[in-house]
Chains A and B, each alone.
Chain A
Amino acid sequence: MDNMQIMKGKMLQAGYICDDKVATVLYLAGAMQKPILVEGPAGVGKTAIAQAFSLVTELPLIRLQCYEGLDEAKALYEWNYKRQLLHIQAVSNKNLSVQQIEEDIFLDNFLLTRPLLKSITSDSPTVLLIDEIDKVDFEFEAMLLELLSEFQITIPEIGTVRARHQPFVFLTSNATRELSEALKRRCLYLYLDFPPKEMEQQILMLKIPNLPPSLAEKVAQVVRQLRRLELKKPPSIAESIDWAAALLWLGKEDLDVETTLQTLTTVVKYREDQEKLERIIYRDRDLNFRT
């Protein structure tokens, strides 16, 4: 049993099946203290890997969901302006010096810590998940870069806050925008693709405990075929889990043409995709999805 096998086993206990390659990257990230940049199509478990990792390491998960227009105030810290104002009002008749008031209102308890600051000021190490980093703009990325290399944040009124423990950082990206070279260089790169059929079958059986193996295999196989077609949104792993669960719920033992037509809405979510699949199924009367 080497480190990678141990990591794999632990991840499995946390409900995440990964192969040797993924386990290697996870292990290296821990050993080399580097962030991991996870890329891959939507729904392959980029976010789940961080969640599972936080379970494995028993460290709290701090998540920063990125979106267009995310700024430092939402990601790092913000002064609690309302409390500061109320404080000033409250002490206004106490004849305090201006300096005294200023010292009061720029204390820790007027500071709203946002995920990034929280992750470095935490008492224990944390797992920091920065989700969909490609959604933020260049300036924010540059700021993040500084944080990821130094693990410190400078707050003008207080001073520099240095990380007590370096967090494990996961960055996920859907590659809608190219990230800066500098950021990529800092990270270990992990590309997650849709799993091979056997692995998906295992995932299904892990997530839905009483799913018959034959049904799991069939679902994995059909979903794999679906991903090969040019769909607007190929089914994700979450969707194949949903599908298998729906089939089990309906008491189906096997996946046939009729059942597939009935339950198609659980795997493909766009009308165009559904129509396309229905056309192919009616044409062939089987589930091979030849193009």
Chain B
Amino acid sequence: MSVLQYLQAFFADLREQDIPVTTSQVRDCCQGLLLIDWSNRDYFYSTFFSTLVKDYSYQKAFDEVFNRFFKEYLRPENRQHFRFVQANKNSRPQEETAVSDYDIGMGNPMGKGGTAQAPGGKKNPLQQDFGRISAEELAGIEAMVPLLARRLAAKFVKKRKRNDQNRLDFRRTIRSSLSTGGIPLNLFTTRKYREKPVILILCDVSGSVMNFSCIALALIASLERFFQHIESYAFIDEVSDITGLLLSGNPFNFRAHVLRNAQVVGVTGYTNYGHTLEEFHKRFRHRINRKTSVLIFGDARNNWQEHGKWALKDIKSQAKKVYWFNPEPMSRWNTGDSIINDYVPYCDRVFACPNLAELEKSLAKI
């Protein structure tokens, strides 16, 4: 296998691990490789890492692939061979193809790990129903979440920008121009107080909405990275403040992370919206003011317990807006122990978000 083919296999494997490796990055990487001494492991690694990985969170995945491909390659007994490659390489023009003619002197990459190829004909992750997806598909959807969060963030920022035009403060400008003989040397503009988006999120993390809450938590984590004024709370039958908790932790087990590190399970361990809302009202009511938008993620399946809707009513009277995102399609609302109808009167909008596309649409509307 030639060096170039080998590298291509390496890049392909990185992509399989969801590390975005673009053509221009590949070009940079090859260009860098021509500039360094390959026999030094640190140089070699650093060249790959700095050109291919642009986010620290990919390091683990990258290291794993890197070791699989190059561990053998960097053994002392193989060094001899590199010198040969190196010596020839220098006489070549600095192009990607320059490395292509040389043998890499080793066989196939050791046991290629990511064998699971994305099978064709799979549904668009945006359209998949939260209720019936496998863990694998869930991971695929979760990978989309940061993108979605960024799109939303961009939208919010634009909205804020439009309302942020400064106008000339005529009176102050003229008054100050008197001291400079009528020449308006100093311009004054009206200061418009920019309201930061204050978002408060309540997220159901119980088993009945498991997939949905994974997505919601991933979304919260992404939004927290974009906005400073977000507070998030998780609940099953106890409510707990999880603001900032998601910033550390592996995106693929946010839910387990929350269950472990936050007090969300109370006496019974069954979802209890009534108790949650009352508790939330009692403990965190002071966090809500007329600028706060309250977002609730959950299916309102209350296990036949008290609804506690007075608490939501009171929350609504204090908050700017209350939005409810229900992972169930509208046809299943109010069936069984779902009591979403009890809460609808106290929300500004209630959305049915059975898949990511719907969730994004709904979020964009608020």
Residues of A in contact with B (beta carbons under 8 Å apart):
2, 4, 19-22, 24-25, 27-28, 31-32, 34, 36-37, 39-40, 81-82, 85-86, 89, 137-138, 175-178, 181, 184-185, 187-191
Contacts and interface: CB of A to CB of B under 8 A. Distances in A.
A4 B25 CA distance: 22
- Size band of the B side of the interface? 20 to 34
B35 A28 contact: yes
Interface stretch (B36-44, B108-116, B202-210): B36-44
B157 A138 contact: yes
Given A32-B31, A178-B225, A189 B183 contact: no
Contacts of B184: 85
Given A86-B183, A185-B54, A24 B43 contact: yes
6 tightest A-B CB contacts, nearest first:
A20-B42, A184-B54, A24-B46, A21-B46, A188-B50, A25-B50
Interface string B153-185: 010010000000000000000000000000111
B150 A178 contact: yes
Contacts of A138: 154, 157
Nearest to B43: A24
A142 to B, nearest CB: 11
A36 B35 CA distance: 17
B308 interface: no
A81 B59 CA distance: 49
B154 A31 contact: no
Given A32-B31, A188-B51, A4 B185 contact: no
A53 to B, nearest CB: 15
Contacts of B225: 176-178
Given A178-B225, A185-B25, A191-B56, A28 B36 contact: yes
B131 interface: no
A27 B187 CA distance: 47
Contact of B50 (A81, A177, A190): A190
A89 B183 contact: yes
B320 to A, nearest CB: 23
28 contacts: A4-B43, A21-B42, A21-B45, A21-B46, A21-B49, A22-B46, A24-B43, A24-B46, A24-B50, A27-B35, A28-B32, A28-B47, A28-B50, A28-B51, A32-B28, A32-B31, A37-B54, A39-B56, A86-B183, A138-B154, A175-B56, A181-B54, A184-B54, A184-B55, A188-B50, A189-B53, A189-B54, A191-B59
Nearest to A37: B54
Nearest to A19: B42
Interface in B111-148: 146
Nearest to B53: A189
A24 B20 contact: no
A136 B158 CA distance: 14
Nearest to A88: B183
A240 B212 CA distance: 44
Contacts of B43: 4, 20-21, 24
Q: Is the interface of B mostly helix, strand, loop or mixed?
A: helix
Contacts of A2: 37, 40
A289 B59 CA distance: 28
Contact of A20 (B31, B46, B146): B46
A25 B31 contact: no
B159 to A, nearest CB: 13
Contacts of B20: 181
Given A25-B50, A137-B157, A177-B225, A185 B22 contact: yes
Contacts of A28: 32, 35-36, 47, 50-51
Nearest to A25: B50
Given A137-B157, A176-B225, A34 B37 contact: no
B158 to A, nearest CB: 9
A24 B36 contact: yes
B304 interface: no
A24 B44 CA distance: 9
Contact of B183 (A31, A85, A181, A184): A85
A2 B38 CA distance: 12
Given A2-B37, A24-B50, A188-B51, A32 B32 contact: yes
Nearest to A34: B28
A86 B185 CA distance: 8
B226 interface: yes
A169 to B, nearest CB: 14
B91 interface: no
Nearest to A69: B194
Contacts of A175: 56
A116 B135 CA distance: 48
Most buried by A among B51, B53, B146: B51
A25 B36 CA distance: 10
B24 interface: yes
A30 to B, nearest CB: 10
B247 to A, nearest CB: 10
A174 to B, nearest CB: 11
Contacts of A189: 49-51, 53-55
Specify which of B50, B54, B55 lies most central, judged by the most chain A CB atoms within 10 Å of its CB: B50
A36 B40 CA distance: 22
Contacts of B55: 184, 189
A175 B46 CA distance: 20
A173 to B, nearest CB: 10
A20 B74 CA distance: 16
A187 B52 CA distance: 10
A213 B53 CA distance: 37
A225 to B, nearest CB: 19
A137 B154 CA distance: 9
Contacts of A31: 35
Contacts of B46: 20-22, 24-25
